[in-house]
Chains A and B, each alone.
With several copies, the nearest count.
Chain A
Amino acid sequence: MKLLTAVVQQHKVDEVRNSLAELGVRGMTIADVQGYGRQRGHTEIYRGAEYEVDVVEKTRIEVLVDDTDADAVLRAVVSSARSGRVGDGKVWVTPVESVVRVRTGETGDQAV
Chain B
Amino acid sequence: MNSGDTAWVLVCAALVMLMTPGLALFYGGMVRSRGVLNMLMMSLASLGLVGVLWVLYGYSGAFGSDLGGVGLLGSPLEFFGLSRLVGAEDTSDTIPTFAFVAFQAMFAILTVALISGAVADRARFGPWVLFAGLWASLVYFPVAHWVFAFDTTNESGEITAVGGWIANRLAAIDFAGGTAVHINAGAAALALVLVLGPRTGWPRGTGKPHNLPLVVLGAGLLWFGWFGFNAGSALTAGTTAAVVFVNTLVGASAAMLAWMLVERVRHGKPTTLGAVSGIVAGLVAITPACSAVTPLGAIAIGAAAGAGCALAVELKSRLRFDDSLDVVGVHLVGGLIGTLLVGFFASESAPAGVAGIFYGGGADQLWRQAVGAVAVFVYSLVLSWLIAWLLQRTIGFRLDERGEHVGIDETEHAETGYHFGDAGSTLRGSAAGERGSVEELEGSVR
Q: Which residues of A contact B (CB under 8 A)?
A: 10-11, 13-14, 30, 32, 34, 41-55, 59
Q: Enumerate chain A residues within 8 angstroms of B421, measured Cβ to Cβ.
A: 10, 32
Q: How far is the CB of A94 from chain B (nearest CB, A)?
A: 23
Which residues of chain B have C-beta atoms less than 8 A from A14's C-beta?
A: 205, 426
Q: Is B439 an interface residue (CB 8 A)?
A: no
What's the nearest-Cβ distance from chain A to residue B32, in Å? Answer: 12
Please list 15 pairs of residues, one from A and one from B, whose beta carbons are closer than 8 Å in the complex, sorted by A's number.
A11-B205, A14-B426, A42-B406, A44-B208, A44-B425, A45-B267, A46-B209, A48-B263, A48-B266, A48-B313, A51-B425, A51-B427, A52-B426, A52-B427, A54-B425
- Of all chain B residues, which has the CB nearest A49? B431
For window 233-279 of B, CB contacts with A under 8 Å fall at: 263, 266-267, 269, 271, 273-274, 277
Contact at A30–B423, with CB atoms within 8 Å? Answer: yes
Known: A11-B405, A14-B205. A44 touches B414 (CB 8 A): yes
Chain B 370-386 near chain A by CB (<8 Å), digits 1 or 0:
00000000000000000
Determine whether B68 belongs to the interface, using a CB cutoff of 8 Å to chain A: no
Chain B contacts for A10, CB-based, 8 A: 421-423
| Chain B residues in 8 Å Cβ range of A41 | 425
B430: A residues at CB distance < 8 A: 50
Cα A46 to Cα B326 in complex, Å, equals 12
Give B residues with C-beta under 8 Å from A: 203, 205, 208-209, 263, 266-267, 269, 271, 273-274, 277, 310, 313-314, 317, 326, 405-406, 410, 414-416, 421-428, 430-431
Shortest beta-carbon distance, A63 to chain B, in Å? Answer: 15
A22 → chain B, closest Cβ, in Å?
Answer: 16
A34 CB to closest chain B CB (Å) equals 6
The residue in chain A whose Cβ has the minimal distance to the Cβ of B330 is A47
Given contacts A45-B263, A46-B208, A49-B203, contact A55 B424 (CB under 8 A): yes
Q: Are B425 and A45 in contact (CB under 8 A)?
A: no
Bound-state CA distance A52–B415 (Å) is 11
Query: Given A48-B263, A48-B313, A59-B423, is A43 in contact with B271 using a C-beta cutoff of 8 Å?
Result: no
Quick one: closest A residue to B421, CB to CB? A32
16 further A-B pairs in the complex, CB-CB below 8 A; given A46-B209, A51-B425, A51-B426: A10-B421, A13-B423, A30-B423, A43-B414, A44-B208, A45-B267, A46-B271, A47-B271, A47-B277, A47-B313, A48-B431, A49-B428, A51-B427, A51-B428, A53-B416, A55-B423
Closest to B409 in A: A44
Are B271 and A45 neighbours in the complex by a CB distance under 8 Å?
A: yes
Query: Is A55 a contact partner of B425 (Cβ separation < 8 A)?
Result: yes
- With contacts A11-B405, A14-B205 taken as known, whether A47 is within 8 angstroms of B424 at the C-beta atoms is no
- Which residues of B sit under 8 angstroms from A54, Cβ to Cβ? 424-426
A54 to B423, CA, bound (A): 10
- Cα distance A75–B416 when bound, in Å? 35
A35 to B431 CA separation, bound complex (whole angstroms): 25
Chain A residue numbers with a CB within 8 Å of B415 are: 44-46
Nearest Cβ distance between residue B204 and chain A, in whole angstroms? Answer: 9
Query: Cβ of B273 and Cβ of A43 under 8 Å apart?
Result: no
Return A110 CB to nearest CB of chain B, in Å. Answer: 27
Determine whether the beta carbon of A46 is less than 8 Å from that of B273: yes
Query: Smallest distance from the beta carbon of B262 to chain A beta carbons, Å?
Result: 9
Q: How far, in angstroms, from A62 to B430 measured CA to CA in the complex?
A: 31
Rounded to whole Å, the gap between the CB of A19 and the closest CB of chain B is 15
Q: Min CB distance, A90 to chain B, in Å?
A: 18
Contact indicator B427/A49 (Cβ below 8 Å): yes
Using A49-B314, A49-B431, A50-B431 as known contacts, say yes or no to A44 and B410 having CB atoms under 8 A apart: yes
Alpha-carbon separation in the docked complex, A45 to B274 (Å):
9
A42 touches B410 (CB 8 A): yes
Q: Closest Cβ of chain A: how far from B45's Cβ, in Å? A: 17
Given contact pairs A10-B422, A43-B428, A51 touches B208 in the complex (Cβ within 8 A): yes
CA distance A34 to B423 in the complex (A): 9
A98 to chain B, nearest CB (A): 26
Complex Cα gap A51–B410 (Å): 12
Q: Which of A13, A30, A47 contacts B274 (CB 8 A)?
A: A47
Chain A's nearest CB lies how many Å from the CB of B189?
15
A33 to chain B minimum Cβ distance, whole angstroms, is 11
On chain B, the residues within 8 Å of A47 by CB distance are 271, 273-274, 277, 310, 313-314, 326
Chain B residues within 8 Å of A43, by CB:
414, 428
Chain B min CB distance to A25 (Å): 17
**Which residues of chain A have C-beta atoms less than 8 A from B208's C-beta?**
44, 46, 51
CA A99 to CA B56, docked complex, whole Å: 65
Q: Which residues of A contact B269 (CB under 8 A)?
A: 45
Could you say which residues of chain A place their CB within 8 Å of the CB of B271? 45-47
Residues of B within 8 A of A55 (CB): 423-425
Smallest Cβ distance from A54 to chain B, in angstroms?
A: 7
Chain B minimum-CB-distance residue to A42? B410
